[in-house]
Structure 1
């Protein structure tokens, strides 16, 4: 009736509601969405992919069922991929903002800490259903497109710099002769 389906994973211990696929035009009436879709920013998507990878590594190691990461560990995961400027505190604040977005989405839970301790986060198992193989493949395609875009801009920028440098050299060599 509500056009929602229940996804239940008893082994992992979670359940959620998902909108059923919309019918193609001409097949039937299109109903309004009850669950809103929101695009994720690049850093949030990247953080989800990195946390999913960390969860897979943790599961492969066996042992405990809860993956708990300190804030510093999450910062180190993302630091490699984000543009590092001269302001370290600003970078950490940005990562905290992205981590807050992931907490709001429900994929990570803040754990209570006593004063003076580092903030810790539990990666929830529901992340496995959101970041599946198809999602990671689409994310890899977007990263490849992003890399090629950056390589295209970098290549032209490099050409312009080389021609400017050679022009300046030619001008400096010509100046003493005048």
Structure 2
């Protein structure tokens, strides 16, 4: 193998690791600083590579996360035959509402100028959403339903479940990547959207997310 071939092979190997991991999910700076630095150095090549797949790289260096999402214009074209690599799935009303409430909480937290990590207890999150849900005579069933929504949000990657301290209830870190999915404009319309949710509690939200 020639020196040029060796260099090309090494470059491909360097590019493969971040691309493969991005196709699997989100890359966080805090999880692997070495991988994060490699991604920063290779981001121009990563962007070129994933464009061929109909994807785009979203990288927030300040917040320390990166992920791939479908390029909207690729799929807006009715003549496009390109299959979607990253599926879009509708979110239920409670999940959409809870994401909005968590995003608003994150904005308030950032405005306070405190720590960079927003951690909420299970009970705090339950109280955050329960006032917006239909009344139920079965408290245990209601809590179970809210925990199901919480687990879905953990699965989506917007919450990270933390190991509780002795005698404490479960706690969750609100992942800052939530800001990329519930943007500032959406948040600005929060009160209007929330009023609509409250008048139609049984309707499934039309929100979507890339997974």
- Deviation at residue 113 of structure 1 after TM alignment: 1.9
Aligned twin of 2:160: 109
Q: How does 1:26-175 map to 2 (within 5 A)?
A: 29-136=80-187, 137=189, 140-141=192-193, 144=196, 147=199
Q: Hey, what does 1:7 align to over in structure 2?
A: 58
Q: State the alpha-carbon separation in 1 of the partners of residues 126 and 156 from structure 2.
A: 18
CA-CA distance at 1:89 after TM superposition = 1.2
Could you say which structure has the larger radius of gyration? 1
- Higher RCO (C-alpha 8 Å, min separation 6): 2
Give the TM-score of the pair, scaled to structure 1.
Answer: 0.75
RMSD of aligned C-alpha atoms? 2.2
CA contact (8 A) 1:23 1:30 kept: no
**Separation in structure 1 between the aligned mates of residue 70 and residue 106 of structure 2, nearest angstrom:** 26
Residues 1:63 and 1:34: Cα distance change in structure 2 (over 3 Å): same
Q: Give the direction of change, closer, same or farther, for the CA distance of 1:77–1:23 in structure 2 (3 Å limit).
A: closer
Structure 1 residues 140, 101: CA separation in 2 closer, same or farther (over 3 Å shift)? Answer: farther
**How far is the alpha carbon of 1:132 from its aligned partner?**
0.9
* TM-score, length-scaled by structure 2: 0.64
Aligned equivalents of 2:191, 2:89: Cα separation in 1: 16
Q: CA deviation at 1:111?
A: 0.3
Aligned partners of 1:19 and 1:33 also within 8 Å:
yes
Q: Distance in 1 between matches of 2:193 and 2:99?
A: 16
Structure-2 separation of matches of 1:142 and 1:56: 16
Q: Deviations over 1:100-159 (max 9, x none)?
A: 110000000000124532100000000000011344549945853872x68xxxxxxxxx
For 2:195 and 2:66, how far apart are their aligned partners in 1?
A: 30
- Tell me if the contact between 1:7 and 1:15 (Cα under 8 Å) persists in the aligned partners: yes
Aligned to 2:205: none
